[in-house]
Structure 1
Amino acid sequence: MKKAFLGILFLVFLFSGTRAYPQQGINVTAGIGLPELINLGLRVQFNQTQLGFSVGTFPDPVEDIYSLAADYYYHFGGSSEFTDLRPWFFKAGLEYSKSETEWEEVSYLFLVPRVGREFNISERFAIALEAGIFVILSEKEKEKRDSPESIWNFEFDFTGSVLPAAGLNLIYRF
């Protein structure tokens, strides 16, 4: 998690100077989704496009799990009385997820395309709903030691699997 925190600080520093240009802004997000988990993020807006980064985790007493995501948003269709940003969007993202127990480490790389809509509550606040799929591009498993139930474990390779994805985000615009 230390690397993830340093990555967020670097991105905040990198994007903090972009606010001075017209039609641009910085958004902070908090959300929940699959595969992003419970997450915090940062988006930088350029006209009708956004670049985003988020870090997620999920509380589990026996498993440490986190996710890192980088996303591209293209806004289209409709209008809002609160912002020039169009409410409908297409999102394409890459996500790295890692889970670790005392017995094993598993990491994944996902491709996450989605379609969504922002519901603007005010000039500063919005709620975004999104749905789509995630594709498992790679899966790496590393066994640390045999688990008590290892006799019943089966090895499956989920690479190439396509699964449903969804997300709910709260957005604050600076």
Structure 2
Amino acid sequence: MDEVAWVVRETAVGPLMAACSGQGLVLVAFRAGPETVAREVKALERRLGCVAVEDAERLAPVTRQWDAYFAGELKEFDLPLDWSLTTGFNRRVLRELATGVPYGSVVGYQDLADRVGEPGAARAVGTAMGSNPLPVVVPCHRVIESSGGIGGFGGGLEIKRTLLALEGVLPAPLF
């Protein structure tokens, strides 16, 4: 049976959980307290047919890059990604987001739909963002409403605002 390694790291947006398979980073989870970690480990084991073990050493490349990103020193993650937890349209949208929306920029839901050749799918892009298994690294926080509104975010709007402020898109939150 395959093994997935995981670790929790405290960051500027709270505790993040990272999990890596043999293919690469497969999961990032916000608010990674004990209950979240237990739920995510169980889901990974079920969905990937694996055993999940805590292994900070194996996840060191991820946590080093997170540390550099949250310190404002890293503009682009250089990690192998395992797309196993997403398929079809969602995977196409997330791959376009990962490669086509650089640090410090934003894209509208409609523009992202257009980029993947599905001009009528702006709402489906929102669904893809909500199901992103790799937030922060695959930067769904950079997707905003076409009208300029901040839009939604699975990690919560306060985390989205913090990430956008870190990247210089928004002013830093006052509190």
TM-score, structure 2 length as denominator? 0.25
**Between structures 1 and 2, the one with greater strand share:** 1
**Between structures 1 and 2, the one with greater helix share:** 2
TM-score, structure 1 length as denominator? 0.25
